[in-house]
Amino acid sequence: MSKSKEIKFSLLYRDMWQSSGKYQPRVDQLKQIAPVIVDMGCFARVETNGGAFEQVNLLYGENPNVAVREFVKPFNQAGILTHMLDRGLNGLRMFPVPADVRKLMYKVKHAQGVDITRIFDGLNDPRNVIPSIKYAKEGGMTAQASLCITHSPIHTVEYYINLAQQFIDAGADEICLKDMAGIGRPYSVGQIIKGIRERNKDIIIDYHGHSGPGFSVASMLEAAKNGVDIIDVAMEPLSWGMVHPDVITIQAMLKDAGFKVAEINMDAYMEARRLTQTFIDDFLGYFIDPSNKIMTSLLVGCGLPGGMMGSMMADLKGMHGAINMALRQNNKPEVTLNNLVVQLFNEIEYIWPMLGYPPLVTPFSQYVKNIALMNIFSMAKGEPRFSTIDKDSWNMILGKTGKVPGPIAPEIVEIAKKQGLEFYDGDPQAPYPDELEKYRAEMRENKWDFGEDNEELFEFAMHDRQYRDYKSGIAKERFNKDLEAAKAKANAPVVVERPIVEVPRIDVDKVLEKHPNATPLHAPAKGQLVWEYDVVDASLPPAEGTPVNEGDNVCFVQAYYGLEPVKSPIKGKIMTTFFKQGDKVNKGEILAFVE
């Protein structure tokens, strides 16, 4: 590839925040920063929105459609292309979306001024991506299809070249290598791009790589040498760590290598940097996890996305006491938290091939990690691996969310057979019929405005629970309480405690002494506990002895991206609960036991 080739930069202003913490800038802050990003003069594209962006606005109690229109306007006027992130079958949320809502999404986003949609599927299943390519083009948008990059015996260079060709043959205008954990090996990244380029001289190719394990800068140079057109970058004060490399470093590297790159207006860069820091100082910094500012080579082995490291540690801390209690009961030595980290990484490495090598990206990275953690707990109790698998993880295994790349291990197939579970090889969209008419009827009944270009109808159909909270005012009340609590915690006096000693929030040992076979229900995310969805403060947890069926919603956790249900993995009775309505819980904490 000629080194005189021009390589353009895309600023991931939305993803920078999502990889750093809980919230995104408000619309007033977006209106401040957008003209300054334009003045930097080095970006051909800016990522403006996506699932977390829109749900976060709803959690603020603000209108995400206003935020999108206001943010993209200056870029549209300056001729800078805007792009969004969507999850194919899942649209802008974590679970499947009816086809009519998916189709409407692209029409709405095009009308709002978003030019390009980056479509990805966590399993790389073309059946979940190709319909969105068609819907995006019909809606007037540029369809960029993504390859979720991971490292396994199945995910070879040829695998990705062939996958890209399927997307291109289906009408994709562009291809993105979405290296969500940053574990793509630089040489292989270059060879994937080279192979795609040899077959498709004119296709636009974008490389997106997180900094986590440290490969991304080398990968970007290899991508440039082999024909990439666009490279995604970040900027201070949010670059590096689990985010993305800074535009200054990548621009200097490529310039030195002889590529044609845009100059950076450093006065504007420093102003954008200053403004972003003011947003952090205003309130966003209260919700930024400091661990996400740190790179770690541990990600090379386990392959988990960098953004999961903080939540993974919360999971381990929440389970540490229960695992040690089980070990004591079985006359086995207890483990330290560091031992548990190593065990979890080893368990993920062990079970990942057995689960068919699903790419470790949301939500499938969470499913693999959850199965691994429950395996460790089961084995501590003297039970076999895969004794407890949650319903969402089973859906992945059974093919209900798409086809995993590799074969499922025979022992897992046998477990499914014994439980009467059936594997599904049909269209993943089929179980989710159209729903727009249902939402239209409810909006008419509530006398809600459908919005310009049906954008309010779309938002309601995509995020119905969060939208109802936004309309009722509950969302804004929750956010204000969340912010007050975060400020109080940040301003509280520093108490020096003895290191390593952890004070458990719940007495799991006491429960397990009485009920050694009890199954814990863990918080799927960090957020606010909701026992009953429609009641904000007064709802009581279910009484001890309340019967539940497998898959029943026991409670919910209001996370930054939306409401996460907590489902019972077994049929049984509630044995005990530990939190009241509205309590803050960490991901992985035990909320209750079922036996």
b/e code 420-434 from CB counts within 10 Å (16+ = b): eeeebeeebbeebee
Give the pLDDT score at 504. Answer: 40
Give the pLDDT score at 498. Answer: 37
Please list the residues that pair with 577 across neighbouring strands. Answer: 592
28 and 61 Cβ atoms separated by less than 8 Å? no
Task: Write out pLDDT tens, residues 354-392.
Answer: 999 998 877 788 889 889 988 998 999 899 999 988 888
With tokens 């390859």, the residue in question is 147
Q: How far is CA 177 from CA 99, 124, 181, 309, in A?
A: 25, 12, 12, 22
Residue 567 reports pLDDT greater than 50:
yes
Mean pLDDT taken over the chain: 89
Q: What share of the chain is helix, strand, coil (3-state, %, to 5)?
A: 50, 15, 35
What ranges in 355-473 are assigned the alpha helix state H?
364-380, 391-398, 410-418, 436-446, 455-462, 464-472
Residue 185 reports pLDDT greater than 60:
yes
Task: Write out pLDDT tens, residues 458-468.
Answer: 999 999 989 99
Q: All domains of the chain, ordered by start, with CATH? A: 8-287 (3.20.20.70), 298-418 (no CATH), 508-594 (2.40.50.100)
Asked which of 206-210, 261-265, 480-484 is least confident by mean pLDDT, the reply is 480-484
Name 515's Cβ contacts closer than 8 Å, sequence gap at least 6.
575, 593, 595
146 burial level (CB within 10 Å; 0-12, 13-18, 19+): buried
Tokens coding 340: 């548990």
φ, ψ of residue 242 to 5 degrees: the values are: -90, 10
b/e code 97-133 from CB counts within 10 Å (16+ = b): bbbbbbbbbbbbbbbbbbbbbbbbbbbbbbbbbbbbb
Asked which of 105-119, 376-390, 560-574 is least confident by mean pLDDT, the reply is 560-574
DSSP string covering 258-274: T-B-----HHHHHHHHH
Residue 56 reports pLDDT greater than 60:
yes
Please list the residues that pair with 58 across neighbouring strands. Answer: none
Determine the average pLDDT of the residues in 558-576. 79
Q: One-letter amino acid identity for 344? A: L
Share of the chain above pLDDT 90, in %: 60
In terms of average pLDDT, the best of 19-28, 251-260, 503-512 is 251-260
Give the pLDDT score at 1. Answer: 53
Determine the average pLDDT of the residues in 94-119. 96
Name 444's Cβ contacts closer than 8 Å, sequence gap at least 6.
none
Give the pLDDT score at 576. Answer: 81
Give the pLDDT score at 14. Answer: 93
CA distance 164 to 303: 22
Give the pLDDT score at 314. Answer: 65
Task: Write out pLDDT tens, residues 429-467.
Answer: 999 999 999 999 999 999 999 999 999 999 999 999 899
Determine the average pLDDT of the residues in 327-346. 88
Residue 426 reports pLDDT greater than 80:
yes
Give the pLDDT score at 414. Answer: 95
Task: Write out pLDDT tens, residues 300-314.
Answer: 876 766 555 556 666
Confidence of residue 535 (pLDDT cuts 50, 70, 90): very low
Confidence of residue 586 (pLDDT cuts 50, 70, 90): confident
Name 26's Cβ contacts closer than 8 Å, sequence gap at least 6.
57, 60, 62, 67
Determine the average pLDDT of the residues in 28-53. 96
- Residue 151, by phi and psi: left (phi above 0), alpha (psi -120 to 50) or beta? beta
CA distance 171 to 523: 41
Give the CA angle between residues 140, 145, 148 to the nearest 5°.
Answer: 150
**Spatial strand order in the sheet of 519-522:** 519-522, 590-594, 572-577, 547-548
Residue 503 reports pLDDT greater than 80:
no
Give the pLDDT score at 539. Answer: 63
For 556, which DSSP code?
A: E
pTM (2 d.p.)? 0.82
More confident residue, 489 or 423: 423
Q: One-letter amino acid identity for 146? A: S
Give the pLDDT score at 560. Answer: 57
Share of the chain above pLDDT 70, in %: 92
Determine the average pLDDT of the residues in 534-555. 74
Q: How far is CA 482 from CA 283, 316, 476, 526, 527, in A?
A: 11, 24, 10, 12, 9
Radius of gyration of the chain (CA): 24
Please list the residues that pair with 178 across neighbouring strands. Answer: 148, 208
Residue 52 reports pLDDT greater than 90:
no
Tokens coding 533: 């969805």
Give the pLDDT score at 495. Answer: 46
Residue 343 reports pLDDT greater than 60:
yes
Residue 540 reports pLDDT greater than 90:
no
